[in-house]
Structure 1
Amino acid sequence: MGRDNQTGVTGFLLLGLSGQSEQEELLLGLFLWMYLVTIMGNFLIILAISCDSHLHTPMYFFLANLSCVDICFSSVTIPKMLVNHISGSKSISYVECMTQIYFFITFINMDGFLLSVMAYDRYTAICRPLHYTVIMRPKLCVLLVAASWVITNLHALLHTLLMVRLTFCSHNAVHHFFCDPYPILKLSCSDTFINDLMVFTVGGLMFLTPFTCIIVSYAYIFSNVLKLPSARGIRKALSTCGSHLTVVSLFYGAILGVYMRPSSSYSVQDTVATVIFTVVTPLVNPFIYSLRNRDMKGALRKLTVRFQN
């Protein structure tokens, strides 16, 4: 790649997930299939919620926003990888890489914030059912989502600007399929102390705040559910949380082991965990929420009938 006075390189080489061409072909075919299913599944969730007036509630409003974010999250990384494969190139320009980092940080944090808002919604519905409609009024729901967008974009802007100030020298090969901030930091020949400090302070706060909200919400939920007199009531209450808990476990389980460590300790093996929350989680979210939700299944059936007619 060419040299530049400010960055030292004009772009990076994305080496992908595997060094063997046969495996790359298989993985890229798999990723294309997963991406198409992700787009279709999440789009159907959004369409079903929009078309069914019975689903115009806070829980489904947040779910529609989560599906929208999942579509964007997958679109940040996979299309560029597929385009590079078709064109026979592994390169990504410096500007494209920084843009990818910005949106990657935005959408990964937006996923976490929406999951925490959904946990608060479940807490209100189970622990304060008589006040649910008063607390979770439409204005508050819109405000929670809007505030999440503002905070996550500011956070992404901070880390992207700190990344732009770094100098990148001749070594520009990234052992990844997209511009993940940690592997990019390892390529810098500048001092990354400020970047690492911001990751552990601001980044840690962005991670811990929604995660703590989820833990506290479910602590209250479980403590209230255990007080219910019948086993049927307990099962009914927990069934409304099962899908959300599954998604939270999958999403945060993968993130926890990858990003809550110094960038210097990032290894190629962590790519597997990265694939889980960047590709697998957006893929399975529609299935988790639709297959275990009677209202969603009904809305999807109505949508199918409408398309057939």
Structure 2
Amino acid sequence: MSPLNSALFKNTTNDNIVHPDYFVISGFAGIPQTKYYYVFLCFVYALTIIGNTFVMFMIYIDHCLHSPKYIVVFNLALSDLCGSTALVPLVIDTFLFKSHLMSFHACLTSMFFVLGFITVQSFSLAALSYDRCVAICFPLRFNDIVTNKSMSFIIAILWIIAALAFLVAVIYINKLSFCRSNVINSYFCDHGPLHLLACNDNTPSTVMNWACQVVIFWLPVIFIVSSYICITRALLKIAAASERLKAMKTCTSHLILVAVFYLPLCVSFALGGALHMNARIINMSLASVMPQMLNPFIYSLKTDEFRESIKKLYRRKKMHITGRNT
């Protein structure tokens, strides 16, 4: 380690642990013409704010949308908005304004919020599949099983699990010693690339990294796939094709959300080391911002109740303007 690099590291209260003053986020540094990508990210972020704020506003003002399903949709919009706000401005500041340095504690804080909100988004998609599964498999008992109170309780538990998972992850990172390099090969302070920089035993953090992948990705995916297996079996028992189609239409918006969120992650996990580092960074960064932008538009265009709510708001506004003019 050169004298210049050695000056970046300092001992903590424990002499066996060395923490850098700051990390270097390398991210898009090796990718050409990234300034256009940052403009695109600004556009995506603006649409994310507008779309998700609108969804939350519509659900809040329309009592017809005060149902278990839309409690989850509200939660998804909230986590999308918070997750994008935790990530996109930081990415733009880091790379567009050449602020590649991030202090040690700022890095851990960023990791906690970005990955925590992504986890809540994943959990929300699983909660929506639970709502659809009960609605189609147990239609007569749906109102007794899935209530506003029970769904609010589920959402609260999911937030607690996400917060605790990444609080533990941050605690384990804080116990690692970084004495070789402070360059993170990612577009934000990502847990995976960060814990690999440790020069002491990072086994607990490695286990935690795999646990986080299971919590964020595999458990929700397994739950969603299992839910749709049950939904498919229930639909096959419906004799009338029209009723079967009507039931399936209630799942289309959710299936699109699931595809938009999980497919890019599946590509990255499936290709693994075969995927070039730059391609992986672009793919993962898109996976971190595009679903948050698309989710509100998918629900606005694909959900009958939401479209009807928008029409009611438009008619009410039009009547108010007409009445004021007369």
TM-score, normalised to structure 1, is 0.90
Question: Take 2:152 and 2:71, find their aligned partners in 1: how far apart are those partners?
Answer: 9
Q: Which residue of 1 aligns with 2:160?
A: 150
Following TM superposition, by how much is the alpha carbon of 1:18 offset from its aligned partner in structure 2, in angstroms?
A: 4.6
1:57-72 equivalences under 5 Å are 57-72=67-82
Any idea what SS the aligned residue of 1:191 has?
coil
Residues 206 and 42 of structure 1: CA distance in aligned 2, closer, same or farther (over 3 Å): closer
When structure 1 is superposed on structure 2, of 49-58 and 224-233 the one drifting more is 224-233
Residue 20 of structure 1 deviates from its aligned partner by 5.3
Q: Shift of the alpha carbon at 1:305?
A: 5.8
Partner of 2:307: 297
State the match for 1:15 in structure 2.
26
1:4 aligns with 2:10: yes
Match of 1:251 in 2: 261
Greater shift in the superposed pair: 192-201 or 140-149: 192-201
Which 10-residue stretch deviates more, 283-292 or 166-175?
166-175
CA–CA distance in structure 2, aligned partners of residues 182 and 307 of structure 1: 50
Q: Which residue of 2 aligns with 1:183?
A: 193
Please state whether the residue corresponding to 1:171 is helix, strand or coil: coil
1:102 alignment partner in structure 2: 112
Shift of 1:194: 1.7
Are the aligned partners of 1:196 and 1:262 in contact in 2 as well (CA < 8 Å)? no
Confirm whether residue 223 of structure 1 aligns to residue 230 of structure 2. Answer: no
Change in Cα spacing, 1:150 to 1:161, as seen in structure 2 (3 Å) is same
- Point out where structure 2 has 5 or more consecutive residues left out of the alignment: 13-17, 322-326
User: 1:260 offset after TM fit, Å?
Assistant: 8.4
- Among 4, 9, 29, the alignment partner of 2:39 is 29
Q: Residues 180 and 198 of structure 2 are in contact (CA less than 8 Å); yes or no, is this contact kept in structure 1?
A: no
Query: Which stretch of the first structure deviates more once superposed, 5-14 or 82-91?
Result: 82-91
- Distance of 1:266 and 1:86 partners within structure 2: 23
Query: How far apart are the structure 1 equivalents of 2:97 and 2:300?
Result: 37
The equivalent residue for 2:173 is 163
Preserved contact between residue 12 and residue 91 of structure 1 (Cα < 8 Å): yes
- Partners of 1:11 and 1:304 in 2: CA distance: 51
Question: C-alpha displacement at 1:227, in angstroms?
Answer: 2.0
Describe the superposition over 1:23-76 as per-residue Cα deviations: whole angstroms up to 9, x where unpaired.
121111110110110111011011111111111111111101100001111112
**Which stretch of structure 1 is more off in the superposition, 199-208 or 41-50?**
199-208
Offset at 1:222?
A: 0.8
CA positional deviation for 1:307:
6.5
Opposite residue 112 of structure 1, the aligned amino acid is S
Q: Is the 8 A contact 2:187 2:285 kept in 1?
A: no
Query: 1:194-241 CA distances to partner (integer Å, 9 max, x unpaired)?
Result: 212223346425543322221121111111112222222122111111
Distance 1:205 1:46 in 2: 26
User: What amino acid does structure 1 have at the position aligned with 2:205?
Assistant: N
The match for 2:54 is: 44
Query: How far does residue 84 in structure 1 lie from its aligned partner after superposition?
Result: 3.2
1:4 alignment partner AA: K
- SS of the equivalent of 1:130 reads coil
Greater Rg by CA:
2
> Match for 1:286 among 296, 308, 314?
296
Change (3 A) 1:184 1:266: farther
Opposite residue 303 of structure 2, the aligned amino acid is N
Matches within 5 A, 1:195-234: 195-201=205-211, 203-205=213-215, 207-234=217-244
Unaligned runs of 5+ in 1: none
Root-mean-square deviation (Å):
2.5
Separation in structure 2 between the aligned mates of residue 31 and residue 55 of structure 1, nearest angstrom:
31
Report how many residues are paired.
307
Q: CA deviation at 1:85?
A: 4.5
